[in-house]
Structure 1
Amino acid sequence: MAQAHPYRVPLAVAVLSTPAALVLAVLVIAGALPAAHALGGMAVIVAGMTLLVVWHVTSVRAVTQYVERLRRNQDEARVPDPPAIRSPGLDPDLVSAIADSARERERRRAELRAAAERLQTVLAALPDPLLMLDARGRIAATNPAARQLFGDNLAGRTLPSVLRNPDLLSAVDAVLRDGEAGQNVEFNVHGSVERTFATRVEPLPSPGPDGSAAIVSLHDVTAIRRAERMRADFVANASHELRTPLSSLVGFVETLEGPARGDAEAMERFLPIMREQAERMSNLVEDLLSLSRIELDEHAVPETTAELGPLLGRVVEGLALKAQDKDMAIELSGADALPPVQGDSSQLTQVFQNLIDNALKYGRPGTSVAVRAETPDNGRAVGRHGQTRAVAVSVIDTGEGIPREHIPRLTERFYRVDKARSREMGGTGLGLAIVKHIVSRHRGRLEIASEEGRGSRFTVYLPRAEGAQTGRAAA
């Protein structure tokens, strides 16, 4: 606050006393009042005026300081009491009115803060990502769902640096620059798992405190679109894969009902084949259902952790008898030193069961399947944002190997390098597709390397659980 002028009180007293001084001077000149009496009267007048001016200036200063205090303490929960007013020139109700106005202002500010906090709580609880854009198309604010999807430090970035879809950017331009009404856009976000979003771009009625001019809401419709594709794929692929065993079963049933009716020898020969074809259909349906469940959840990263060492031990133990039947062995190494990974134990069990089972199917009798687990210091970065250190598990067989041109398509549904051999071994053509989708859901990587005549290596990289250390480091 500015300092009071040092001559303000004397100047005010002089101005206020001037009319009385002029009257006394006229009376003295006219001989109506002795000079001594006039001087005494003037002294009384000046003293009274000085007292009144000092009271008034002090009161005005107190009011000014009170207003300044209210201005400086805008966040005070309690409005301070107003000062006492002694000046007869100021209405005491003035300060009370100022205090009442300040209390009303604080009440309204508290209501606004509470409303803003409620709004922030609602936005934070929304499962859909939200991006608040300013008039230049820069991100002004986000909710936790958006930060989880796109990473932190989004504020101040341009929308194209986060989402580069041309249709979305055109919709934002139409809303921000052309003043059009809300726009709807559906587009795909490519990454370790492709996701589909139905997006709404809506202008705000007025700019927000942070400069927000429009809101972009993204609704994940990946599961819906995937379910639509899965229904179509299921009909096409299942009908194709079921047709052969079903035709065989129908043929055998017709034979046993017709020419071979009552023929015990034919029945003994046909029934094992019919059982095999029925089991093949059962395995196919089970794998299809398993793949459908996995694909529906693929966009949702597992929130639990899994102990990979004991899990691998259980899988190897469960397949030991199958290995013995082929005169093969399974050698597990490095499992004791593994840190926990972020993942679903049941699905990871399925991954390694499929990989080791395939190695036993295609490995040469008398050889071993090596299951090697490690935590490489220079391993691949995996995880939701590709920044998490990985745990690597390799399944290595000594078999015929896979021709190089087939490797990129191995994880496609129903793709087989040797269709006849695969069906002969009971394969459904879905095992590696299941592995790929589970690994994708875990935001990991699957690498395949093979050399014809020497065998194949399937390596799964999975993200370590947050804060996990290796078994040796933690010991």
Structure 2
Amino acid sequence: MDQAQIKAWIDALGIPALFVADDTRIIAANDLAISVYNLNVAGLIYSAALRQPAAIEAIHACLEYHKIQTARIHHTENCTDTVFDLRCAYIDKGLRGVLITLKDLTDEGKNTQLHRDFVANVSHELRTPLTAISGFIETLQGSAKKDEEALDRFLGMMARQSARMDRLVSDLLSLSRIEAQERQRPSDTVYLHDLLATVIESYKAQDVEIISQLNAHDHAVQADADQLHQVFSNLIENAVKYGQAGAPITVTTKNVACDARLRVPAIRMSVCDTGAGIDPIHLPRLTERFYRIDGHRSREKGGTGLGLAIAKHIISRHRGRLEIKSKISQGSEFTAIIPTR
């Protein structure tokens, strides 16, 4: 294998790759490797070009012992930190030297951290009601054992904490199912206005004042009716909980010939309240799991911190997007934008 063939082979790889000849020169590097180092390293001595002790040691050992070597390296370029698994394999056919490949582990590290954060958050959310229930049980077994008034009060508190855990577990299971289905496009035919009207009627039956401004032209889309029902219910429920007490909620739909971001025809379904509004600093994080602006207030109102995360995943499964607008003292607007074709 000559130098041109080696260059052709590493260019075909989907990861950064370099080839170091026996004379310690880098004789080929693909575009991905060049982008990592922001430099065309071909022709340079590997120790001068790479400048990472772990990488240099692995390449040196591979050149000397002709055995596969691996290393974990951290690379910083333009204030961006990247973690790579470096693998060195010796080639002794034709042009002799070491083939070096770099596997980017940055996303894996982020996913691991997200998993740790998720487990920590779930543990915290469950520990709080469990601690409360344990305290109530201990009290009822002790000083309040024969106090009927205390018994009724504590049992009521225990029921509320138990219901809170039930909601949390239910939302966690729902989120898990939705994530598992996210790459499976829904295939049922659903009329969006009919579905939204059903959700609105269910809240009107609960004496919630809702102003409906639905576009006369309904759209049939390929969707999962139960999941979209969950999205609309969640958005209206949030408006009821966090909007101005007693003020009406406005639900509107609008047909869009071509959504600017989705680049396809779509329907916008918005839920507006006239509550206190949300500080703009919070808007980018509202759909994160367990993210709350006011944790105590959210829990008091029965929130699990997962509703908007669930809504975002459902809308994503339908190839749409969730848009959130809010101004302090002027209320909030949550919009589900669903492609109509």
Question: Counterpart of 2:210?
Answer: 330
1: CA distance, partners of 2:225 / 2:335: 18
2: CA distance, partners of 1:261 / 1:443: 56
Change (3 A) 1:312 1:229: farther
CA-to-partner distance for each residue in 1:30-78, whole Å, 9 max, x for gaps?
Answer: xxxxxxxxxxxxxxxxxxxxxxxxxxxxxxxxxxxxxxxxxxxxxxxxx
Secondary structure of the structure 2 residue equivalent to 1:388 = coil
User: Counterparts of 1:296-375 in structure 2 under 5 Å?
Assistant: 296-322=180-206, 324=207, 328-375=208-255
Tell me if structure 2 keeps the 8 A contact 1:380–1:390: no
Change (3 A) 1:369 1:429: same
1: CA distance, partners of 2:301 / 2:270: 23
1:424 is the counterpart of 2:304: no
**1:252 alignment partner, one of 119, 129, 136:** 136
2: CA distance, partners of 1:315 / 1:226: 37
1:239 is the counterpart of 2:115: no
**1:389 alignment partner, one of 265, 272, 295:** 265
Secondary structure of the structure 2 residue equivalent to 1:443 = coil
Tell me if structure 1 keeps the 8 A contact 2:215–2:255: no
Change (3 A) 1:447 1:159: farther
CA-to-partner distance for each residue in 1:284-304, whole Å, 9 max, x for gaps?
Answer: 000011011111111222233
TM-score, structure 1 as length reference: 0.48
In the TM superposition, what is the alpha-carbon distance from 1:369 to its structure 2 partner? 0.8
Tell me if structure 1 keeps the 8 A contact 2:257–2:264: no
Amino acid at match of 1:434: I
In the TM superposition, what is the alpha-carbon distance from 1:314 to its structure 2 partner? 1.0
Tell me if structure 1 keeps the 8 A contact 2:276–2:331: yes
CA-to-partner distance for each residue in 1:259-309, whole Å, 9 max, x for gaps?
Answer: 111210101111111111100000000001101111111122223332101
| Runs of 4+ displaced beyond 4 Å | 169-173, 225-234
The higher radius of gyration belongs to 1
**2:311 alignment partner, one of 432, 435, 438:** 435
CA-to-partner distance for each residue in 1:361-416, whole Å, 9 max, x for gaps?
Answer: 0111231111101102353352xxxx421111111011010001000100000000
- Number of paired residues? 250
Question: Counterpart of 1:29?
Answer: none
Question: Counterpart of 2:94?
Answer: none
Amino acid at match of 2:253: A
User: Counterparts of 1:150-189 in structure 2 under 5 Å?
Assistant: 166=16
Structure 2: stretches of 5+ with no match in the other structure: 1-6, 18-28, 34-108
Q: How many percent identity over aligned positions?
A: 48
In the TM superposition, what is the alpha-carbon distance from 1:341 to its structure 2 partner? 2.2
2: CA distance, partners of 1:136 / 1:347: 48
Change (3 A) 1:230 1:407: closer
CA-to-partner distance for each residue in 1:203-254, whole Å, 9 max, x for gaps?
Answer: xxxxxxxxxxxxxxxxxxxxxx999888755532221101111100000000
**1:287 alignment partner, one of 168, 171, 185:** 171
CA-to-partner distance for each residue in 1:182-218, whole Å, 9 max, x for gaps?
Answer: xxxxxxxxxxxxxxxxxxxxxxxxxxxxxxxxxxxxx
Greater share of strand: 2
Structure 1: stretches of 5+ with no match in the other structure: 1-134, 138-157, 174-224, 466-475
Secondary structure of the structure 1 residue equivalent to 2:232 = helix
Tell me if structure 2 keeps the 8 A contact 1:450–1:456: yes
Question: Counterpart of 2:335?
Answer: 459
Secondary structure of the structure 2 residue equivalent to 1:395 = strand
Tell me if structure 2 keeps the 8 A contact 1:308–1:338: yes
Amino acid at match of 2:145: R
1: CA distance, partners of 2:111 / 2:183: 13
Tell me if structure 2 keeps the 8 A contact 1:409–1:415: yes
Change (3 A) 1:441 1:226: farther
1: CA distance, partners of 2:136 / 2:163: 15
CA-to-partner distance for each residue in 1:94-130, whole Å, 9 max, x for gaps?
Answer: xxxxxxxxxxxxxxxxxxxxxxxxxxxxxxxxxxxxx
Change (3 A) 1:445 1:166: farther
2: CA distance, partners of 1:410 / 1:329: 25
Amino acid at match of 1:410: L
Secondary structure of the structure 1 residue equivalent to 2:256 = coil
1:404 is the counterpart of 2:245: no
Change (3 A) 1:336 1:227: farther
Tell me if structure 2 keeps the 8 A contact 1:333–1:371: yes
2: CA distance, partners of 1:166 / 1:245: 49
RMSD over aligned Cα atoms:
3.1
Tell me if structure 2 keeps the 8 A contact 1:302–1:344: yes
2: CA distance, partners of 1:231 / 1:300: 23
Greater share of helix: 1
In the TM superposition, what is the alpha-carbon distance from 1:358 to its structure 2 partner? 0.2
2: CA distance, partners of 1:433 / 1:399: 21
Tell me if structure 2 keeps the 8 A contact 1:340–1:464: yes
User: Counterparts of 1:119-158 in structure 2 under 5 Å?
Assistant: none
Question: Counterpart of 2:84?
Answer: none
Tell me if structure 1 keeps the 8 A contact 2:258–2:266: no
Tell me if structure 1 keeps the 8 A contact 2:258–2:264: no
Change (3 A) 1:230 1:302: farther
Structure with higher RCO (Cα < 8 A, 6+ apart): 2
